[in-house]
Amino acid sequence: MAEKIAKFPHGFIWGTATAAYQIEGAWNEDGKGESIWDRFCRIPGNVQDGDRGDIACDHYHLYRDDIKLMKTLSLNVYRFSIAWPRIFPQGKGGINQRGLDFYERLVDELLDAGIEPFVTLYHWDLPQALQEEGGWANRDTVGYFKDYAAQVSKRLGDRVHYWITHNEPWVTSFAGHHSGILAPRIKSLPTALKVSHHLLLSHGEAVAVLRDNGDEKTRLGITLNLSPAHPASESKEDKEAATRFDGYLNRWFLDPIYKGSYPEDMMILYGDKAPKIRAQDLERISAKIDFLGVNYYSRQVIKADTKEAFLGLSQVKPADTEYTEMDSEIYPAGLYEILKRIHNDYDAPLMYITENGAAFSDKIDKNGQVNDKSRIKYLKSHFLQAHKAIEDGVKLSGYFVWSLMDNFEWALGYSKRFGLIYVDYPTQKRIIKASGWMYKKVIEKNGIEI
C-alpha cells in the first residue's frame, strides 16, 4: 500500500523549545545574579526531592554538543530563553557583558548550524534583587524589563529576528502569585491580577523597543498557555462555569493583546480585586505584534462548584481516557479547537505552536535505547490536528516540541521527562529517543505518515 502523508505547507518550520533555568545550570557563573528560581529551590519543600537547577542539563557548558544534536534531528528552528539575571545580575543598573557573550556564542553557533533562533525574553527567572523590591507586583519592573529587552536586542538584534516577550504570563501571575505553587510563592489574588497587568504592560513596552531596535526582518510575539474549557455537562451552571474559566485562562490575556480591553465579565467578577489600569496602558499592551505563540498541552473540563470561592468552579478528570505522567488528559482535538477559535475570535493572527509535548516515564532498554512509543503517539496525533487546522484556513506557521531534552520541570524537579532526547543527569549523557528519530523524519518530509 502506498504510504499516505499529511504534508505541511512549504516553509512550515519545525523546532524544539527549552527555557534557561530548566537546562542551563551554571547558576552562579560568569557574573550571573540570583534568580527567584535559585532562591525558590533552596527552600525545603518547594521542589520535589529537593531538586534544583544549579546544574540541570549543564547546557551552559555543553551547548555546542546540544546544537550538534539539534542538527542530527534536522531542526529548522530552536526556541530558548535568556536568563535576565545573566544580563543584569541585579535586574537593573550594571550590565554583565559575559552574560550577553554566552547568548551571542549560542546564537552564532545555531546560525552556523543553519538553525534559526527564537528567543524568549522571560521564561520565569526574574532577578531575585527585583523580587526584593516587589517583583512583578511593582510597576517599576515594567521599565526594567524594557531596559533589559533594549540591551539584549541591541547586541543580538542583527542576528535574532524572532522575539517572544513572555512565556505563559498566566503561569507567572496565578501559579506564582495566587496558588503560589511556583516562584515567587505568593498567595494573593489581587497581587496575581496586578502582576498579570504588569506582565502584559511590559510585553507592550518590550514590543515597542524591540521594534525600534529591529529591522524589516524582525518578528515579535508573545507565548500564551491556552486550553479550551469544556463544561462537564449540559447544565446552565456548568456552561457558565466553563465560560468563567475561559475568561480566567484565555480571554484575560488574549483580549487586552488583540482587542485592547480586559473581558468585561471578568472585570465584574474580580470587582475591587481587579488591577488598576492607567490611561494608555491598554493601548500599549495592544501594540501590534506579528505572531502569537500557543502552548498547548490539554483541555480543561469544568463544573460549577459553589464550594470554590474564587471562580465557583472546579476541574473534572474525565474517565475512560488516557493521561500523561503529568496527569494531564491526552486530548489532541483540543489543539485544533483552540487554534480555530483564536483564528475566528481574534482576527486570524499568524501563529506558532511554541510548546506541545508530554512527559512519560521513559526507560533505557537493554540496547541502550529509549523506545518512547507513548510520546510518538501523543506527538503524531497533535501534529495531525495542527495539519487539519491549517487545511481549515488557520495561519499556523510552525511547531515547537517541548522539549529538546529532558530537563528541570519546575516544582516537579527532574522527576518528569519531556525530552526528545534522554538526559542521564549524573553523567550528562544524551540519548536520542525514538520520538526524536520520528520527529527527524517528520521534519525531513515536512509531513506525517498516516
355 touching ligand FCB, by CB under 6 A: yes
Site string for ligand FCB, 120-159 (x = CB under 6 A): ----------------------------------------
In three-state form (DSSP H/G/I as H, E/B as E, the rest C), the secondary structure along 140-159 is: HHHHHHHHHHHHHHHHHCCC
- Active-site pick, 24, 34, 116, 168: 168
Nearer to ligand FCB, 86 or 155 (CB): 86
250 touching ligand FCB, by CB under 6 A: no
Nearer to ligand FCB, 328 or 397 (CB): 328
Task: Using alpha carbons, select from 421, 449, 417, 425 the residue that is nearest to residue 437.
Answer: 421
360 touching ligand FCB, by CB under 6 A: no
Site string for ligand FCB, 218-237 (x = CB under 6 A): -------x------------
User: Is 95 in contact with 88 (CB distance < 8 Å)?
Assistant: yes
Residue nearest to ligand FCB (CB): 19
409 touching ligand FCB, by CB under 6 A: yes
Give the amino acid at 371: N
Nearer to ligand FCB, 46 or 167 (CB): 167
Contact range with ligand FCB by CB under 6 A, out of 29-37, 44-52, 229-237, 402-410:
402-410
Nearer to ligand FCB, 355 or 362 (CB): 355
Rounded to whole angstroms, the Cα distance separating 62 from 407 reads: 14
End-to-end CA distance of the chain: 12
Helix axes 97-112 and 59-72, enclosed angle (nearest 10): 10
Choose, by CB under 6 A, the member of 418, 423, 435, 442 that binds ligand FCB. 418
Q: How far is the CB of 278 from ligand FCB (least distance, A)?
A: 29
83 touching ligand FCB, by CB under 6 A: no
Q: How far is the CB of 359 from ligand FCB (least distance, A)?
A: 7
Nearer to ligand FCB, 8 or 410 (CB): 410
Nearer to ligand FCB, 135 or 176 (CB): 176
Assigned C-alpha cell, 61: 557548558
Q: How far is the CB of 422 from ligand FCB (least distance, A)?
A: 16
Task: Using alpha carbons, select from 106, 114, 121, 125 the residue that is nearest to residue 34.
Answer: 125
User: Is 270 in contact with 193 (CB distance < 8 Å)?
Assistant: yes
Nearer to ligand FCB, 262 or 297 (CB): 297
402 touching ligand FCB, by CB under 6 A: yes
The verdict on whether 168 is a catalytic residue reads yes
Q: Are strands 5-7 and 116-122 parallel, antiparallel or unpaired?
A: unpaired
Q: How far is the CB of 376 from ligand FCB (least distance, A)?
A: 18
User: Is 286 in contact with 256 (CB distance < 8 Å)?
Assistant: yes
Q: How far is the CB of 292 from ligand FCB (least distance, A)?
A: 15
Q: How far is the CB of 223 from ligand FCB (least distance, A)?
A: 8
Q: How far is the CB of 406 from ligand FCB (least distance, A)?
A: 11
- Active-site pick, 116, 337, 355, 409: 355
Helix axes 97-112 and 140-156, enclosed angle (nearest 10): 50
Q: How far is the CB of 21 from ligand FCB (least distance, A)?
A: 9
- By CB under 6 A, the residues from 272 to 301 that bind ligand FCB are 295
Starting at the edge strand found earlier in the chain, the sheet holding 300-304 runs 229-231, 300-304, 313-316
Integer Rg of the chain from CA: 21
Choose, by CB under 6 A, the member of 122, 410, 414, 439 that binds ligand FCB. 410
- By CB under 6 A, the residues from 8 to 27 that bind ligand FCB are 19, 22
- By CB under 6 A, the residues from 159 to 178 that bind ligand FCB are 167-168, 171
**Catalytic site residues?**
168, 355
Interacting residues toward ligand FCB by CB under 6 A: 19, 22, 167-168, 171, 225, 295, 355, 402, 409-410, 418
